[in-house]
Amino acid sequence: MLTNDEKFRIIYSGSDKKRRGVGFIRRGLTTAAVPLYQTVSDRIVCMRIKAKPVDLVVTQVYVPTNDASQTETEEFYSNLKMW
């Protein structure tokens, strides 16, 4: 059985169509270690983790496949360059 401190939290960034999206699942114990997350698009989400000797930034991406349009692919890489 999980205690309140061990419950899980989902950080999700995705579309309403439920066709794509990215996210993280984290334990409740990590609340202090994850002070910030940023949902960039339905394909990009970033999470800052307090660590030693330096903080970490983890980026989760869902890259467009070859079936995606050129515009969609260019938009994805443009958004990714910002981070």
In this prediction, residue 53 carries a pLDDT of 95
Q: What's the domain range around 71?
A: 4-81
Q: How far apart are CA 27 and CA 74, in angstroms?
A: 34
Strand order through the sheet with 44-49: 36-41, 44-49, 56-61
Residues 6+ apart with CB under 8 A from 68: 76
For the chain of 83 residues, list the mean pLDDT of each consecutive stretch of 10. Answer: 65 76 79 79 88 90 92 92 75
Which residues share a beta bridge with 22?
13
In this prediction, residue 36 carries a pLDDT of 82
In this prediction, residue 6 carries a pLDDT of 65
Model-level pTM?
0.72
* Number of domains making up the chain: 1
